[in-house]
A and B are shown apart, each in its own frame.
Chain A
Amino acid sequence: MTLFYLFGAVAVIASLLVIAQRNPIYSVLLLIASFGALSGLYVLLDAPFVAVIQIIVYAGAIMVLFLFVVMLLNAPQEDTELDMRVHPMLRPGAMRFGTVLAVGLVAELIWALTATTGSASFQPGPLISVATIGRRLFTDYAFPFEVTSVLILVAMVGAVVMARHDAAGGKR
């Protein structure tokens, strides 16, 4: 139980810092920390395969992609001309309203979840092995599997085309 609180606290605090940081590099690194905590939570949920895949795919590949883009763009930190004393999340206008909406969302979700009676502990059951997942992927979920591979191909082609330098200027 303490492990759950530890990982949960790390995930929540890291995510809060992600959206509160001004420097996008720190945001990416904090998100990696949050993914690590989530991976620990997956291990607690008896899902070691998903935990390791989370590290390999999310923290090891997608976040490297984000980091590369942030470094290559070398973007100036956002809104340097606005008032820097007030935090972005509390500025009047759309931002403050957005924060209010998000707080309203979390309050509503917490109310909805605590009103139900799902507080029983998990039943000890058979550990779902990688072999089981593999077998189901290729039998019951074979069609989504193939479609996902086509999706990745399309995304690859699309990303290469979008990010290409065009000699004549302007996109084609």
Chain B
Amino acid sequence: MPSLNDYLLLSAILFSIGTAGVFVRSNLITILLSIEIMLNAVNLSFVAFGRALGSADGQIIVFFVMTVAAAEAAVGLAIVIALFRHRESLNPDTFTALKW
């Protein structure tokens, strides 16, 4: 039977994979995907703790995290679309100047 530590380790590995994605990738959409990986890793540890402590709070927090992630993905993708229309590139390095 997997223990709480096993789930937390898995969550930590997934979180650092997401972090690596945000650091390394130079495509805005892949960066947003890595942020989603990080949010999911956190969801996993919430549900694992909720199960270990026998309370429903873990699952309720996950509900809110998913909703916020959906809102953030929508707005983030809208920004990506606006940026792409302006510069025809998805590389964040082309958006270094503070001028539009």
A binds B: yes
Number of interface residues of A (CB under 8 A): 86
Number of interface residues of B (CB under 8 A): 69
Taken together as a complex, chains A and B put the C-alpha atoms of A171 and B91 apart, in Å, by 20
Closest A residue to B9 by beta carbon equals A113
Taken together as a complex, chains A and B put the C-alpha atoms of A8 and B40 apart, in Å, by 13
A interface secondary structure, majority = helix
Chain A 138-172: CB-based contact to B (< 8 A → 1; otherwise 0): 00010010001001101110111111000000110
Decide if A101 touches B75 in the complex (CB within 8 Å).
no
Decide if B14 touches A19 in the complex (CB within 8 Å).
no
Which B residues contact A (CB, under 8 angstroms)? Answer: 1-10, 12-21, 23-27, 29-30, 32-34, 36-37, 40, 43-44, 47-48, 50-52, 54, 56-60, 62-64, 66-75, 77-82, 84, 90-91, 100
17 contacts between A and B (CB under 8 A): A4-B2, A18-B30, A19-B20, A27-B29, A41-B7, A62-B73, A66-B73, A69-B81, A78-B90, A88-B25, A109-B13, A114-B9, A148-B64, A148-B68, A155-B70, A159-B74, A163-B82
